[in-house]
Chain A
């Protein structure tokens, strides 16, 4: 399917979701699940996969049907499509592991109002070919999963001393329970954003100094 598109173009579409236009860190979308489900790496990975699945499937379908959907009912149609895939994921997770389902709670169903999915359907999938839409969706989904992992790793290691259930910190380490609780989510996400902003500023300053030196 991607044979006709230029390689650099498609790659661009894919890679931007991971970093430059990362849905969580740059576009500040889909924060609710990132904060809620990132208290353990297992939950974070599961949520990332579930969201990516819904994102890819709905973007594909929206892109396939984009010429048939009249403008006036497009949002309603997108929502029906997204809700269908979310329900499918909901039942799939229940069938795979009831424990995981209980851990993720209502946030599986809440994927349907994740602004990332509706946003990509509206902004990209409805205006591009299926292959590009799939790449975009996968990129965005992975970017979202990356954000989930950033938070998940920090919160689980500091909050339980473990990673994916395996003890990684010595027994002497008194876990910072606050990390698993709601405030931890806010503080860790805020800290990551702070870190990225600091890096960006640092880079900007170095570029400015470099230019000033050359001038």
Chain B
């Protein structure tokens, strides 16, 4: 169990090693959903939810698997856990906030194939975090994902009004922008160290 402080884990997941811009996780929704601020922020919120739930379930499952020496089943169990947590979160939101459910729409089921969620589960297992550290890591990762999405949506909304050459419109523009954003985020490296 590493002795990283909780605030460091949060900062690390959120900005120092941002899941989208440094670890290349969750690129598909990043490209698809970052067009408008509304959709970006809602997707981000849904992802934070799902990450929290999957992270805790993954921690529990891993504990069981290690106890019974069944580590080769880890991947299948994790993906099953993630798919179930997405279902759970969907049902939960549908019951307690139908408005939010309608606003999220198709994005919720799409989260199942979001590599960021599985990536989160795999990384926290590799780092051997304790339960509390896992939760903080999940919230940090979700916030980082939301941050990247929201920044990109702001940029893209502004660019809608600009005269962008036709060859670069669409995914190419988003990727080049992401490259510049990623370079900017590299400036956070070394934060939290001594």
A residues in contact (CB < 8 Å) with B:
28-29, 31-33, 35-36, 76, 79-80, 83-84, 86-87, 90-91, 106, 109-110, 112-115, 118, 178, 181-187, 189-191, 193-194, 197-198, 201
Contacts and interface: CB of A to CB of B under 8 A. Distances in A.
B24 interface: yes
Interface in B132-181: 166-168, 170-176, 178-180
- Chain B contact residues: over half helix, strand or loop, or mixed? helix
Interface size class on chain B is 35 or more
Contacts, number: 112
26 contacts: A28-B28, A28-B31, A31-B31, A32-B24, A79-B80, A80-B80, A87-B72, A87-B76, A106-B122, A106-B126, A110-B118, A112-B75, A112-B79, A113-B79, A113-B113, A113-B115, A115-B113, A182-B186, A183-B179, A183-B180, A186-B178, A187-B179, A190-B172, A190-B174, A191-B176, A198-B167
Nearest to B25: A32
A72 to B, nearest CB: 13
A194 B168 contact: yes
A207 B190 CA distance: 53
- Chain A contact residues: over half helix, strand or loop, or mixed? helix
Nearest to A88: B72
A201 B166 contact: yes
Contact of A182 (B24, B72, B75): B24
A184 B73 CA distance: 35
Given A31-B27, A31-B28, A35-B24, A190 B173 contact: yes
B56 interface: no
Given A110-B119, A181-B186, A194-B168, A87 B83 contact: no
A25 to B, nearest CB: 9
Interface string B95-124: 000000000000000001111001100110
